[in-house]
């Protein structure tokens, strides 16, 4: 029995890692997208700065064209002023020239603001250039690392599938049938659970002391009275997890056998 119980434990461990690997592999597109999204998020700030700079440049060009128009308006008003025949023509020419000059002054203030925006964006872009390069390098490295990890996981998955087949082929039919029956019935698909410190580690319910003794012996299949999983005992794990109790456990084990 002991060897078969060990095979069941191995089968459970293989199935658990199979499930984890499958979940990881299924999540590859999401995980990759997450890495790329992070890069896009930071690159977006750069693109935003570039847009701000380009928009300001275009706006400045538009304002300068408007200044040219207003200058023409001033010149025309000045000509009208020179050729004015009466008081009315004279005052209206003066008003026209003043209005145009006022416009030019406002436009020039706006042009200065746009120039400042362009300069600031350029400066920030230049400042962030090494950071942007660094970011790109980092992302490329991370994607390469991710590819590598994915390749390893795919290989591990294939190996786990082979190991699963091997374990199933060596297990007595009735044992593998029992395993499959429990695994398919239980929500998390875990059919074999460790009994540790007097409890089932899957459902956390206590295991009766007499049953615990039998689980420790490992001479027959003992299932948890609460969750029906096949129980096993791993002395090394218990000692590792609870170093303070190791002495007490060793004593009780002697008493049990
Ligand atoms: Zn249980």
CA of 230 to the centre of ligand 1 (A): 8
CA of 225 to the centre of ligand 1 (A): 7
Indicate where the chain has its CATH 1.10.287.1490 domain(s): 14-170
Query: Do residues 154 and 192 make contact, with C-beta atoms less than 8 angstroms apart?
Result: no
Query: Do residues 14 and 183 make contact, with C-beta atoms less than 8 angstroms apart?
Result: no
The CA distance from 182 to 15, in Å, is 13
Which residues have C-beta under 5 Å from ligand 1, the single-atom ion? 200, 202-203, 224, 226-227
What's the pLDDT score for residue 255?
43
Q: Which residues of the chain have pLDDT under 50?
A: 238-257
What's the pLDDT score for residue 244?
46
Instruction: Tell me the helices (H) and strands (E) count for the chain, helix number first.
Output: 7, 4
Q: What is the DSSP string of 11-80?
A: HHHHHHHHHHHHHHHHTHHHHHHHHHHHHHHHHHHHHHHHHHHHHHHHHHHHHHHHHHHHHHHHHHHHHH
Task: Measure Cα distances from 71 to 100, 105, 110, 111, 132 in Å.
Answer: 7, 11, 16, 15, 44
CA of 164 to the centre of ligand 1 (A): 23
CA of 231 to the centre of ligand 1 (A): 8
Task: Measure Cα distances from 153 to 21, 78, 165, 192 in Å.
Answer: 6, 82, 18, 24
**What b/e string do you get for 148-163 counting C-beta neighbours within 10 Å, with b at 16 or more?**
eeeeebeebbeebeeb
The DSSP element (H or E) to which 222 belongs, if any, is strand 222-223
pTM, two decimals, is 0.60
CA of 194 to the centre of ligand 1 (A): 9
Architecture of domain 14-170: Orthogonal Bundle (1.10)
Task: Measure Cα distances from 145 to 2, 120, 131, 149, 248 in Å.
Answer: 42, 37, 21, 6, 46
CA of 182 to the centre of ligand 1 (A): 12
**Could you tell me if residue 243 is left (phi over 0), alpha (psi between -120 and 50 degrees) or otherwise beta?**
alpha
CA of 205 to the centre of ligand 1 (A): 6
What's the pLDDT score for residue 131?
85
The CA distance from 48 to 128, in Å, is 13
What's the pLDDT score for residue 237?
53
The DSSP element (H or E) to which 232 belongs, if any, is strand 230-232
CA of 229 to the centre of ligand 1 (A): 6
């Amino acid at each position: 029995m002991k060897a078969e119980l060990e095979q069941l434990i191995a089968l459970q461990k293989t199935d658990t890692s199979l499930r984890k690997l499958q979940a990881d592999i299924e999540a590859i597109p999401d995980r990759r997208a997450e890495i790329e999204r992070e890069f896009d998020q930071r690159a977006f700030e750069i693109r935003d700065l570039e847009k701000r700079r380009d928009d300001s440049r275009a706006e400045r060009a538009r304002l300068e064209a408007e200044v040219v128009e207003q200058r023409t308006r001033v010149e025309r008003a000045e000509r009208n002023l020179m050729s004015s025949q009466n008081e009315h023509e004279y005052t209206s020419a003066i008003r026209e020239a003043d209005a145009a000059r006022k416009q030019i002054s406002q436009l020039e203030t706006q042009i200065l603001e746009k120039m400042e925006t362009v300069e600031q964006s350029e400066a920030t872009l230049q400042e962030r250039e090494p950071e942007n390069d660094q970011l790109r390098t980092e992302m490329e490295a991370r994607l390469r690392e991710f590819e590598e990890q994915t390749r390893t996981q795919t290989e591990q998955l294939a190996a786990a599938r082979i190991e699963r087949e091997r374990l199933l082929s060596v297990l007595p039919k009735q044992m593998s049938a029992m395993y499959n029956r429990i695994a398919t019935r239980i929500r998390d698909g875990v059919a074999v659970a460790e009994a540790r410190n007097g409890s089932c580690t899957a459902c956390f319910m206590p295991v009766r002391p007499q049953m615990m003794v039998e689980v420790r012996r490992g001479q027959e299949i003992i299932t948890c009275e609460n969750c029906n999983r096949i129980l096993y005992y791993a002395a090394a794990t218990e000692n590792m997890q609870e170093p303070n109790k190791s002495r007490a456990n060793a004593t009780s084990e002697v008493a049990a056998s």
